[in-house]
């Protein structure tokens, strides 16, 4: 399966020919200025929570692609009011079956508010399972013991975890998160975008490596096979 990184916490995967985009925040991200959102294709857009650095470009990309937004109940309602025709309402603990596989919404310890101040539901993470691959995207979260539940839901091939600290967990806690979800492959997100989440790449790679974990720090626009 190919994963493409678009900066901050935005990435897309393609499973069974369906393009699934997560947390699009591109036009407001100075580091992602070479990415043109008009070139991004999506069948589904999954939003972990309502913060602007996770959903700023969701409306434009959804409308351009006639994509389905998958998000917590109140976030889905907010996008319907904005004219996004197809939304799937979910909430923490719930699972839904799609044509590419299934998505289970899991708890995240964070906050959530939509860009206009509307209530942004509980923040969530996602466990995506399919015939090809299973993975866990935690969304913005602290390290939480709830992550011990993830391997009981599915055998995870890799996890996508925030590592920037300050606004989410940092690298040390993400190492513990990887252990809890029982994976040794991690794609790092939510780092370097602003001064308060800048990381030392080499130190971070060594930190994970010392625990037997392969941390992938992708360049913006880079695709990898997982």
* Residues engaged in binding Mn ion (CB under 5 A): 51, 53, 140
Helix H or strand E encompassing 97: strand 95-97
| Residue 23 contact, options Ni ion, Mn ion, none, Cβ 5-8 Å cut-off depending on partner type | none
Contact between 120 and 140 (Cβ < 8 Å): no
Q: Which residues, listed in sequence order, are joined to residue 187 by a DSSP beta bridge? A: 160, 216
Residues that bind Ni ion (CB under 5 A): 51, 140
Is the CB of 59 or the CB of 140 nearer to Mn ion? Answer: 140
* Residue 57 binding: pick among Ni ion, Mn ion, none (C-beta 5-8 Å cut-off by kind): none
Which CB, 31 or 154, lies closer to Ni ion? 31
Name the percent of the chain in helix, strand, coil, to the closest 5: 25, 30, 45
CA 92 to mean position of chain CA atoms: 15
Identify which of residues 51 and 104 has a Cβ nearer to Ni ion in the complex: 51
Nearer to Ni ion, 57 or 140 (CB): 140
Q: Give me the least distance between CB of 140 and Ni ion, in Å please.
A: 4
Please name which of 150, 166, 158 lies closest in space to residue 132, comparing C-alpha atoms: 158
Least distance (Å) from Ni ion to the CB of residue 137? 13
């Amino acid at each position: 399966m190919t994963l493409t990184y678009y900066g901050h916490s935005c990435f897309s995967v393609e499973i069974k020919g369906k393009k699934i985009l997560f947390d699009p925040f591109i036009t407001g991200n100075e580091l992602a200025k070479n990415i043109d959102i008009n070139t991004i294709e999506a069948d589904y857009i999954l939003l972990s929570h309502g913060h602007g650095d996770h959903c700023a470009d969701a409306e434009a990309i959804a409308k351009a692609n006639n994509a389905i937004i998958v998000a917590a109940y109140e976030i889905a309602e907010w996008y319907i009011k904005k004219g996004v025709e197809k939304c799937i309402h979910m909430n923490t603990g719930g699972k839904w079956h799609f044509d590419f596989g299934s998505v289970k919404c899991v708890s995240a310890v964070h906050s959530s508010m939509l860009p206009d101040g509307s209530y942004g539901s509980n923040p969530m993470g996602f466990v995506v399972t399919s015939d090809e691959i299973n993975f866990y995207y935690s969304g913005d979260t602290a390290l939480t013991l709830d992550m011990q539940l993830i391997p009981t839901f599915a055998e995870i091939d890799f996890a996508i975890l925030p590592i920037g600290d300050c606004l989410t967990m940092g690298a040390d806690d993400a190492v513990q998160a990887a252990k809890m979800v029982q994976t040794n492959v991690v794609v790092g997100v939510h780092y370097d975008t602003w001064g308060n989440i800048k990381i030392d790449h080499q130190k971070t790679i060594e930190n994970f490596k010392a625990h037997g974990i392969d941390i992938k720090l992708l360049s913006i626009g880079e695709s990898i096979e997982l």
